[in-house]
Structure 1
C-alpha cells in the first residue's frame, strides 16, 4: 500500500477531488461538508491500476489548522498538492509547501483543480514557481476537474507512477505508529488510527504507547487495514488498532506506538536545521517554538551549537532515530521556521564553557545517514544494541563488532582503545610507584583512568587495543590491572620475609607473634603483599606460616592413629591453639580432613 497526503488547498475543492478519485467521503463531520472546509484529518482510499491500494490523508488547509495538517503529513512519504485554478497560489499554499519541504516530503504531484471554472495555466505557473522556491520544482503536474471528470484518468496514471517510484518500506523493521486519531467503539474499547511507516503490526502484539501521559504497555486486540480486518499489516499502511490495556482518555493524537525497547525515546537530540528554499535561519529565542515529529506537536527549547546545528530539548520524550525528519514551527508567527534532521538522539551533556562549540565541530560532518563506523568514531565507545536502536542497520553493527575491540555488547573505537591502554599504563605505573605494597590498580579505578564506561572493557582493550608489536605489558588479575611481570614486594620487605622464613624453617608451626612481626617491620600491608607474591601463608590476619605449612602438617598428622582431637594435633605439631585451630580449619576446607560425629578429626 502507498499513503499520500493531500495538501495545499483551503476550501472544499480538495476534498471533492479526493471523493472523485476514491468514491469515498473524506470529510467526516457534517460541519465540514456544510462549510465546504476541511477541519480535521480525513481518510479515503482506492486501487490504482499498476500500483495497487493507495490511501489518502486529507489534511485541512486553513491557517488555523496547520498543526492538524502537519499531524497528517508527518508520517507519509509523498503528497498530492492541490491548487484551485480559480484561486491560484494562496498564502496557505505557501505554508503547506513550507511544511512539506521542511518535513522532507520531497516526492509529490502538483494538481490544479477546478479547470471547469478557470483556465489552469496561470495557477499552474504560480504553483510551479511557489514549489520551486522551496526545492520542490521537479514535481509533475496535472490539471483536472472533479465536476466534469476531465483529467482524472491522467491523474490516476500520474499517481500510480508517483507511488510506484517511492522507496520501499521496511515491513521487517521496528514498529512505529504515530497516532492521528483515537476513539472508543462500543463493545470493543479504545481504537487508534495512524500511518504505519515502519514494521508490521499483528493481532496479539505487545507494544508500548508513549506520549505526554508517559509509557503504557498495550496489547493489539485486532488490526484493520483500509477498513477491513486483517491478521497483520505491514508498512506503509493506513491501519486501525483496537488496543487492550489503555483507556481512551490516556491516548490521543501525537502519541506513538512502538515495538518494546526498540526505539530511543528521548527528550534531547542534536539536529541540523534546513532552511525552506534557502539557508538555515538563525534562531532568535530559545523558547516559543514547536517541533512537529510524526503526528506529535511538542514545545521545544533550542540551544544553538554552531552554524546550522542546534540541540532541541522537548517538553516530553519523543521516539526519534538518526536521519528522522521533523518540522520546527513558530506557532505565534504562524510560520515554518526550518526543517530538522536528527543527527544524534542520545547526545552527551554540555557542561563546560565551549562545549557547544566542540560539539558542533564533532557533528560538522554528520549527514543524518546512520553509519556504524562514523557513530563509533564520534562516540568512542557505544553499546551495539544502542547503535541499532539509534537507527544504524544491525548488519553494519554486526560487521563492526568483528573489527573493533569490545566486550559484553560494548564496542570501542580502535583509537579510543589505544588511548585507554596508554592511560592505563600511566595510571598503573603511578599507582605502583606511590604504593609498592599494593601493586596493581583496582579495576574500578582502572576504568576511570582509561575513560571507559564499563569495567569489562578494561580487559578487552588490553587484549585488543595495545600496539601488536609491543603489547601493553598489563594484565587483569584478581580484580586489578597490574604488570604481567610483577616485580613483587619491595626489597626490604623480601629481606624481612627471609628472616621470618628462617625462623619458621627451624620451627614450622611456631607462628611469630605480634612483637616479632613488628620487630621484622611486617605490618598488615607488608604481609598482604607477601601473601599475594606467594611468600607466606596467612591462616588469619595475625597467624603467618610458610606456604608449604599444610603439606608439612599432613605429614605429621598421618603419624597419628585414625581419628584425632584438636589437642592431639596441637601436641603433634608442637604449636598452640592459636595456630592449630585455623590450620585444621584450612585442611578441612581444602578436603584433606573431615570432622567425625563426635567432634574429632580424621584424614580423608
Structure 2
C-alpha cells in the first residue's frame, strides 16, 4: 500500500475528487459536509488498475486549519496538489506548496479538478509555474471532473505510475508511527491511527509512546478497515493499545520501537527558503504530526539552533518546517543536522558551531559523526538515525575518533608521569583520577587506553617492571640490587639508602610493593634473601651458632640476628636451649 495526501482548495472539490476515486466519504464530520469544507484529516483508499492499493489522507485547505493539514502531510511520502479549474491558484494553495517544499516532498501529481466548469488549461499553466523551482517541479499533471468522470481513468493510471516509481519502503527499520488521531472504541479501549512510513507492526509488539514514560503493548491492528496480525510500511494503520488511557496519547505523539529513538528538545538545523536574518525569535516547528513551540538561535548563514518546548523523536536528516502562527505563514523548511548538539557557553561558541555544521549535510554519516563528537556511544548514534554497522568500539559500546584516541593515549602517559612527580610514594595514579584529568565519561575508557609499558594494577595505572612503584623509587631499588649482587646477605646503612633516595617512606613503599624486605633494626634486604640463607645454612654442621651462621653468610651480626629470627618465626630453623639452631628438614 502507498499513502498519498491530497492538498488543495478550501471548497469541496478536493474531497469530491477523493470520493470519486475511492467511493468513500473522506469528510468524517457532519459539520464538514454541511459547510462543504474539510476541517480535519479524512481517510479513504482504493485499488488501482495494476493492483496496487493507495490510501488517501485528505487534508484541510483553509488557512485556519493549516496545523491539521501539516499533521496529515508530515509523515506521508507523496501528495496530490489539487487546483480547481474554475478558481485557479489560490493563496492557500501557495501556503500548502510552501509547506510541501519545506518538507522536501518530491513525489506527487498535479490534479486540476472541476474541468466540467471551466477550461482547465489556464489553471494548469499557472499551477505548473507555481510548482517550478520547488521540490514538486515537473510532476505529472492530470485534469479531471469528479462530476462527469472525465480524466479519472487517466488519474488512476498516473497514480499507478507514481507509486511504481517510488522507492521501496524499508520494512526492517525501527517503527516511528506519528499519531494523527486518537479515540476510544467500546470494548477495545484506546485506538490511534497514523501513517506507517517504515518498519513493521505486529500484534503483541511492545512499543514506547512519547511522553508516556511506560511501555505499551499492541492489542490489535487494522489497516484499511481489516483486522491484521501484522502491518508493514507503507500503510495507514489503526493500533489498539492495551491499558493506555485515551487522554494520555494523541495527535503529535508517536509510537516507537523501544530504545531506538531519543527524545530531543534541542536541534541544530539547516534552513531553506529564508535568510537567518529574517527569522522570528519564536515559531512553531512541525514534524511528523507534531507541532511544538520553539525558540530560535541563529548560528551561521543558514544554520540555527532550535530549542523546543517539549522533546520529540527526530533523526538526523529529518525534515521539518517552521511556521509563524501570528502571520499564518510558513517561515522556513529545516533539515535536522544534529539532535544532540553540544552546549554553547562561551563567547563566539555559536560562530564556531556554525563552522562545524558547514560540512554537515544532514545525511547520517558514521565517520563524520564520530569525528565531530570525538567520543560517542554506538547506541546514541543509532538512536539519532546513524548506522554503526562495521564500527569497532574502543571499549564497551564507545566509539572514538582515531586522532582523538591517539591524543588521549599520549595525554594518559603525561598524566601518569605528572602524578608520579606529585605523589612519588604512590605506585601510580588511580584510574578514577585519570578519568577526571582526561575528561572521559567512564573508567573503562581509561583502562582501554593503557598500553605497555603501563599496566593497571589494583585500580591504578603503573609502569611495568616497577612493581607498582614510582619510577624514582624503582630506579633506587634497581641500584641497590646491582650494588649488593655479590653480597646479598649484607644490608646498606640508613645514610646510604638515603643517598639513593630511599628514605623511610620510600622503603615502606618498596616493601609494600614486594621489592624490598625490611627486618627489625632497619635492616633492608632483597626479598629472596631468606630463602638463599636457608640453603647456605643447611650446608653447615647442625646445629650451628649465630657466629657460624654470620661467617657462612659473610654478613654482620646486625643482619644475621634478625635474619635468623625471621627463619625461626617462619619454621625454617629451630632454636635450641643453648641458642644454637638447626635447619628443619
Q: 1:13: Cα distance to partner?
A: 0.8
Aligned length: 543
- Residues 135 and 239 from structure 1, CA distance in 2 versus in 1: closer, same or farther, beyond 3 angstroms? closer
The 3-state SS of whatever aligns with 2:316 is: coil
Residue pairs, 1:90-489, within 5 angstroms: 90-211=90-211, 214-275=212-273, 279-287=274-282, 289-393=283-387, 397-401=388-392, 406-462=394-450, 473-484=453-464, 486=466, 487=471, 489=473
Q: 1:224: Cα distance to partner?
A: 0.3
TM-score, length-scaled by structure 1: 0.81
User: Would the aligned equivalents of 1:6 and 1:80 in 2 still touch at CA under 8 Å?
Assistant: yes
Aligned partners of 1:248, 1:553: CA distance in 2, in Å? Answer: 86
Q: 1:308: Cα distance to partner?
A: 0.9
Aligned partners of 1:358, 1:123: CA distance in 2, in Å? Answer: 48
Q: 1:24: Cα distance to partner?
A: 0.4
Q: 1:496: Cα distance to partner?
A: 9.0
Aligned partners of 1:363, 1:478: CA distance in 2, in Å? Answer: 43
The 3-state SS of whatever aligns with 2:197 is: strand
The 3-state SS of whatever aligns with 2:81 is: strand
User: Would the aligned equivalents of 2:476 and 2:502 in 1 still touch at CA under 8 Å?
Assistant: no
Residue 35 of structure 2 is aligned to residue 35 of structure 1 = yes
Aligned partners of 1:442, 1:271: CA distance in 2, in Å? Answer: 42
The 3-state SS of whatever aligns with 2:153 is: helix
Which residue pairs with 1:531 in the alignment?
A: 512
Gaps of 5+ in 2: 492-496, 538-561, 572-585
User: Would the aligned equivalents of 1:423 and 1:449 in 2 still touch at CA under 8 Å?
Assistant: no
Q: 1:455: Cα distance to partner?
A: 2.4
- Residues 537 and 190 from structure 1, CA distance in 2 versus in 1: closer, same or farther, beyond 3 angstroms? farther
The 3-state SS of whatever aligns with 2:213 is: strand
Gaps of 5+ in 1: 464-471, 508-515, 557-570, 585-604
Deviation digits for residues 165-193 of structure 1, max 9, x if unmatched?
Answer: 11121111101100000000011100000
- Residues 485 and 196 from structure 1, CA distance in 2 versus in 1: closer, same or farther, beyond 3 angstroms? same
Deviation digits for residues 142-199 of structure 1, max 9, x if unmatched?
Answer: 0000000000000001111111111121111101100000000011100000001121
The 3-state SS of whatever aligns with 1:17 is: helix
- Residues 573 and 200 from structure 1, CA distance in 2 versus in 1: closer, same or farther, beyond 3 angstroms? farther
- Residues 27 and 332 from structure 1, CA distance in 2 versus in 1: closer, same or farther, beyond 3 angstroms? same
- Residues 349 and 549 from structure 1, CA distance in 2 versus in 1: closer, same or farther, beyond 3 angstroms? farther
The 3-state SS of whatever aligns with 2:315 is: coil
User: Would the aligned equivalents of 1:267 and 1:313 in 2 still touch at CA under 8 Å?
Assistant: yes
User: Would the aligned equivalents of 1:496 and 1:521 in 2 still touch at CA under 8 Å?
Assistant: no
CA RMSD, aligned part only? 3.6
Which residue pairs with 1:593 in the alignment?
A: none
- Residues 12 and 343 from structure 1, CA distance in 2 versus in 1: closer, same or farther, beyond 3 angstroms? same
Which residue pairs with 2:544 in the alignment?
A: none
- Residues 220 and 474 from structure 1, CA distance in 2 versus in 1: closer, same or farther, beyond 3 angstroms? same
- Residues 102 and 544 from structure 1, CA distance in 2 versus in 1: closer, same or farther, beyond 3 angstroms? farther
The 3-state SS of whatever aligns with 1:406 is: coil
- Residues 573 and 239 from structure 1, CA distance in 2 versus in 1: closer, same or farther, beyond 3 angstroms? farther
User: Would the aligned equivalents of 2:473 and 2:506 in 1 still touch at CA under 8 Å?
Assistant: no
Aligned partners of 2:181, 2:503: CA distance in 1, in Å? Answer: 78
- Residues 489 and 178 from structure 1, CA distance in 2 versus in 1: closer, same or farther, beyond 3 angstroms? same
Which residue pairs with 1:513 in the alignment?
A: none
- Residues 187 and 436 from structure 1, CA distance in 2 versus in 1: closer, same or farther, beyond 3 angstroms? same
User: Would the aligned equivalents of 1:253 and 1:296 in 2 still touch at CA under 8 Å?
Assistant: yes
- Residues 525 and 574 from structure 1, CA distance in 2 versus in 1: closer, same or farther, beyond 3 angstroms? closer
Aligned partners of 2:401, 2:216: CA distance in 1, in Å? Answer: 38
Aligned partners of 1:537, 1:241: CA distance in 2, in Å? Answer: 75
Aligned partners of 1:33, 1:231: CA distance in 2, in Å? Answer: 34
